[in-house]
Structure 1
């Protein structure tokens, strides 16, 4: 008769031990089974390998001195010639047919130890002799209203491609038909609101010669074998105190040279 009152007390004692244990067991692991202090997943090996290869080719391109002709096809489908000269002393010059005055004037963007220059070249829209206007120091930036943009893949964008801190995602790409070298897709990370270069596809030969670019500027494709570089770049004309040639076509109240009619 006395055994029945004691049995519930023994079960209550067992439950008082089991309940805290179960609570501890339930709260030992965070929700979702995530272990505390788990390191983030590393970047895929292929991504790192592509970054390394592209950075090495871009570094070779920065050290590459050559003369080459490229075909530029704009977003409107128009094609023009672009000549690139990267001299032994670090000076450079990029000639762009139809690069100013709405495509009617040829220009060159050049940089040497004296500064950055825009040079108007003799063409249908500008029959005068070649003259150059100084835009600033050697590290100056071409203003947007003057910028033909095609010089960037051979100059400042190469520094971006060699910097692993750049907010970019790099992956291998298949070369377009007729294009030699290794190609890479260059994309901006979601955190980068203003990419430091045009995203797109960049291709390089093994020696660092750029062979193809597809970006917002259109496409640039190497049109033949690269030749030797001069010791230094010579400006095509005298440096004058004048207004540089804009990209847009002149208004109806101005002559092709920028003078009021």
Structure 2
């Protein structure tokens, strides 16, 4: 009989203690005004998107695209120039550049084929000169650099081993596609990519870019690609056109013209 009372007493104390604990929890869960306290979520904060990863995703799509697209290149203080980009299904490519040589006075095409890269003069066409092996940079004196945006720099933007700083950027004029500011992470004589802003749509098409040589903007519908790139003229021997304008002839200090029978080079003793 005694053991039963002890057991009941123990149960009563235990129940009372539990009731007191529950009452304390309820009281603690209310503010001094009696309003319920908002529970703190234990869910982790959402992970911020990696700008470089977002850019790489769009560039990966761009690398698989084959197309023909027209752009306008705007250089500060000058009228826009026309750019036509052709990426063929066999990965050969061609970029036609209005004013791409001779300081903006000559139209040229830069084309890439398995046997090499060519500069072709346009309007009027006068043949194509091989200026570099396939996949290599062009000589600086003959390099308009625009072609890298659509070919070589795609691999740079995809390569995580290349130190780059990538950040979201405000959309450039004429596009609503996401834009990314890219800055090379190392100081070198020849950085792997020019610093700039690149904008790609969901289909991997470059819609705009802002770079040291000017600002590109897509100007029309993107159309299907040819099966391969054809050069606009025959391959010929000769020197490629420089990107800079030829120097103006210096007048004779006396103000008179050199005699026709004497060439300027021979007058300086150059053979």
TM range (shorter): 0.7 to 0.9
Summarize the alignment of residues 214-253 of structure 1 with structure 2, pairs less than 5 Å apart.
Answer: 214-252=210-248
> Which of the pair has more CA radius of gyration?
2
- Taking the aligned partners of 2:55 and 2:208, their CA distance within structure 1 comes to 13
Counterpart residue number, 2:59:
58
- Does 1:139 pair with 2:140? no
Counterpart residue number, 2:112:
111
- Deviating above 6 A after TM superposition, structure 1's stretches of 4 or more consecutive aligned residues are none
Counterpart residue number, 1:148:
144
- Taking the aligned partners of 2:60 and 2:76, their CA distance within structure 1 comes to 28
How far apart are residue 252 of structure 1 and its match?
A: 4.3
Alignment deviations for residues 133-188 of structure 1 (CA, whole Å, 9 cap, x no partner): 01132122111111111111101111110111221111112212321322111123
Alignment deviations for residues 233-257 of structure 1 (CA, whole Å, 9 cap, x no partner): 110000000111111222446xxxx
Q: What TM-score, normalized to structure 1? A: 0.74
Three-state SS of the structure 2 residue aligned to 1:164 is coil
Q: What TM-score, normalized to structure 2? A: 0.71
- Taking the aligned partners of 2:239 and 2:184, their CA distance within structure 1 comes to 35
- Taking the aligned partners of 2:160 and 2:180, their CA distance within structure 1 comes to 15
Please tell me the root mean square deviation across aligned C-alpha atoms, in Å: 2.2
Counterpart residue number, 1:203:
199
Alignment deviations for residues 194-236 of structure 1 (CA, whole Å, 9 cap, x no partner): 5311111100011111111101111011011211100001100
Q: May I ask how many residue pairs the two structures share in their alignment?
A: 206
Q: Gapped runs of 5+ residues in structure 1?
A: 1-44, 254-259
- Taking the aligned partners of 1:226 and 1:234, their CA distance within structure 2 comes to 19
Q: Gapped runs of 5+ residues in structure 2?
A: 1-46, 250-262, 265-271
Contact 1:109 1:117 in 2 (8 A): yes
